[in-house]
Amino acid sequence: MRYDPIDPQLFIENRRRLAARLPPNSIAVLNSNDVMPTSADGVHPFVQQTDLFYLSGIDQEESTLVLFPDAREEKHRQVLFLRETSDQIALWEGWKYTPEEGTAVSGVKTVFWNSEFQSVFRGLAAQAERIFLNSNEHPRAGAVVETRDARFGKWCREAFPLHHYGRLAPILHDLRAVKSPVEIERIRQAVDITGQAFRRLLGFIRPGVWEYEIEAEIWHEFLRRRSRGPAFQTIVASGPETCTLHYVKNDKQCREGDLVLIDFGAEYSNYAGDLTRTVPVGGRFSPRQRAVYDAVLRVQKAAIQMLRPGSTLETVNEAVGRIVEAELIGLGLLDPAAVQAQPKDKPLYKKYFPHGLSHHLGLDVHDYGDRFRPFEAGMVFTCEPGIYIREEGIGVRIENDILITDQGPVDLAADVPCEADEIEALMRRPQA
Structure confidence by residue, pLDDT tens digits, 13-55: 999 999 999 999 999 999 999 999 999 999 999 999 999 999 9
Alpha-carbon dihedral angle through residues 145, 151, 153, 159, given to the nearest 10 degrees: 160
What is the average per-residue pLDDT within 187-195? 98
Is residue 190 scored above 90 in pLDDT?
Answer: yes
Query: Which of the four pLDDT bands, split at 50, 70 and 90, describes residue 402?
Result: very high
Cα gap 340→318, rounded to integer Å = 16
Query: Which of the four pLDDT bands, split at 50, 70 and 90, describes residue 430?
Result: low
Cα gap 78→200, rounded to integer Å = 45
Last residue within a domain, chosen from 176, 208, 232: 176
CA-based nearest residue to 117, from 168, 66, 167? 66
Three-state secondary structure call for residue 112:
strand
Q: Which helix (H) or strand (E) holds 229?
A: strand 229-230
Phi, psi at 94, each rounded to 5°: 95, -155
Cα gap 380→402, rounded to integer Å = 6
Cα gap 334→351, rounded to integer Å = 10
Phi, psi at 105, each rounded to 5°: -75, -45
Q: Domain for residue 135, yes or no?
A: yes
Phi, psi at 340, each rounded to 5°: -60, -30
What is the average per-residue pLDDT within 144-170? 96
User: Are residues 217 and 170 part of one domain?
Assistant: no
Residue-averaged pLDDT of the chain? 96
Q: Domain for residue 228, yes or no?
A: yes
Q: List C-alpha distances in Å: 179 to 21, 83, 176, 185, 352.
A: 17, 30, 7, 10, 33
Q: Domain for residue 1, yes or no?
A: no
Q: List C-alpha distances in Å: 180 to 39, 175, 220, 362, 381.
A: 40, 10, 30, 11, 14
Identity at 131, one-letter amino acid code:
I
User: Are residues 224 and 294 part of one domain?
Assistant: yes
User: Are residues 80 and 15 part of one domain?
Assistant: yes
Active site residues: 41, 246, 263, 274, 355, 359, 366, 384, 388, 397, 399
User: Are residues 274 and 162 part of one domain?
Assistant: no
pLDDT at 384: 98
Structure confidence by residue, pLDDT tens digits, 317-364: 999 999 999 999 999 999 999 999 999 889 999 999 999 999 999 999
Domain extent, residue 125, equals: 9-176
User: Are residues 403 and 340 part of one domain?
Assistant: yes
Is residue 10 scored above 70 in pLDDT?
Answer: yes
Cα gap 372→328, rounded to integer Å = 27
pLDDT at 431: 53
Count: domains in the chain: 2
Q: Domain for residue 96, yes or no?
A: yes
Three-state secondary structure call for residue 143:
coil
Phi, psi at 86, each rounded to 5°: -160, 170
User: Are residues 137 and 195 part of one domain?
Assistant: no
Three-state secondary structure call for residue 330:
helix
User: Are residues 369 and 252 part of one domain?
Assistant: yes
pLDDT at 73: 97
pLDDT at 93: 87
Q: 84: which residues sit within 8 A by CB, 6+ positions away?
A: 113, 114, 115
Q: Domain for residue 189, yes or no?
A: yes
Q: 376: which residues sit within 8 A by CB, 6+ positions away?
A: 177, 178, 309, 404
Q: What is the CATH number of the domain that holds 251?
A: 3.90.230.10
Q: List C-alpha distances in Å: 64 to 22, 30, 134, 366, 367.
A: 18, 6, 11, 24, 22
User: Are residues 334 and 187 part of one domain?
Assistant: yes
DSSP state for residue 37 in the 8-state scheme:
B
User: Are residues 285 and 223 part of one domain?
Assistant: yes
User: Are residues 78 and 19 part of one domain?
Assistant: yes
CA-based nearest residue to 317, from 338, 396, 325? 325
User: Are residues 355 and 269 part of one domain?
Assistant: yes
Is residue 62 scored above 70 in pLDDT?
Answer: yes
User: Are residues 200 and 103 part of one domain?
Assistant: no
Structure confidence by residue, pLDDT tens digits, 241-282: 999 999 999 999 999 999 999 999 999 999 999 999 999 999
pLDDT at 206: 97
Last residue within a domain, chosen from 118, 153, 176: 176
Inter-residue contact 237 to 244 (CB < 8 Å): yes
Identity at 215, one-letter amino acid code:
E
Last residue within a domain, chosen from 148, 176, 204: 176
